[in-house]
């Protein structure tokens, strides 16, 4: 069905990765390619109201992971050991801020796959960066107060076998002719 079209093939075979090879760091050029995809994702009225924060510093990554786990009420690493976590923020004064940031994350997940990397969308960025401590971090990074968290894109080399897609639901599509 999609094997002949490389774009559709990538879109249909990319999977979320929940185990990363901790012995391999991610090359800067690959991270930049992922960020470029996020920058070029569609935005409402082409406002480009997204910002990206690349977190490679282990202590900050671990702090964000712990914070994220506390919000979910679990004692796990919600970033699954990924060596790179990209925070996606969007300007909440723009009426399409959630959609703009979501499209950016989607494009970044696909770009990571195209670069031979694993990735996973991680939630709870809004809760983290709506908190007083999160707002303080944004202020330290000189990010305007209107920017709110959309999500995190965990990135790294997949550990083990790449997962296969589950069959799609038969009732997902309704044709009205």
Neighbours of 100 (CB within 10 A): 23
Higher pLDDT, 9 or 67: 67
CB-based contact 129:138 (threshold 8 Å)? yes
What does the pLDDT look like over 118-161, one tens digit per residue? 999 999 999 999 999 999 999 999 999 999 999 999 999 999 98
The total number of residues written for the chain in this structure: 177
Q: What is the pTM of this model?
A: 0.95
**Alpha-carbon span 144 to 142, nearest angstrom:** 6
Higher pLDDT, 16 or 162: 16
| Segments making up each domain of the chain, as ranges | 17-156
What does the pLDDT look like over 22-78, one tens digit per residue? 899 999 999 999 999 999 999 999 999 999 999 999 999 999 999 999 999 999 999
Burial class (CB in 10 A: 0-12, 13-18, 19+), 174: exposed
b/e burial code for range 101-124 (CB count within 10 A of at least 16 → b): bbbbbbbbbbbbbbbebbbbbbeb
pLDDT given for residue 10 in this prediction: 87
Please check the confidence at residue 81 and state whether its pLDDT lies above 90.
yes
- The residues near 8 (Cβ < 8 Å, ≥ 6 apart) are 2
Q: Starting at the edge strand that comes first in sequence, how are the strands of the sheet with 50-55 ordered?
A: 50-55, 84-91, 147-156, 118-122
Confidence class of residue 1 from pLDDT cuts 50, 70 and 90?
A: low
Q: Which CATH class is domain 17-156?
A: alpha beta
**Alpha-carbon span 116 to 106, nearest angstrom:** 16
Please check the confidence at residue 113 and state whether its pLDDT lies above 70.
yes
In the beta sheet, which residues pair with residue 106?
Answer: none
């Amino acid at each position: 069905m999609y094997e002949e079209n490389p774009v559709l093939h990538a879109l249909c075979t990319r999977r979320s990765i929940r185990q990363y090879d901790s012995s391999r760091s991610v090359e800067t050029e690959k991270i930049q390619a992922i960020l470029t995809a996020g920058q070029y994702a569609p935005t409402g009225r082409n406002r480009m109201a997204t910002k990206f924060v690349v977190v490679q510093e282990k202590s900050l990554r671990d702090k964000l992971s712990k914070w994220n786990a506390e919000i979910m009420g679990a004692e796990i690493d919600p970033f699954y050991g990924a060596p790179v976590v990209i925070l996606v923020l969007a300007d909440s004064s723009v009426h399409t801020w959630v959609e703009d940031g979501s499209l950016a994350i989607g494009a970044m997940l696909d770009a990571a796959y195209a670069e031979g990397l694993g990735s996973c969308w991680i939630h709870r960025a809004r809760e983290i960066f709506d908190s007083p401590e999160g707002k303080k971090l944004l202020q330290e990074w000189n990010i305007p107060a209107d920017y709110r968290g959309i999500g995190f894109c965990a990135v790294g080399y997949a550990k083990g076998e790449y997962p296969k897609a589950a069959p799609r639901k038969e009732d997902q599509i309704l044709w009205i002719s």
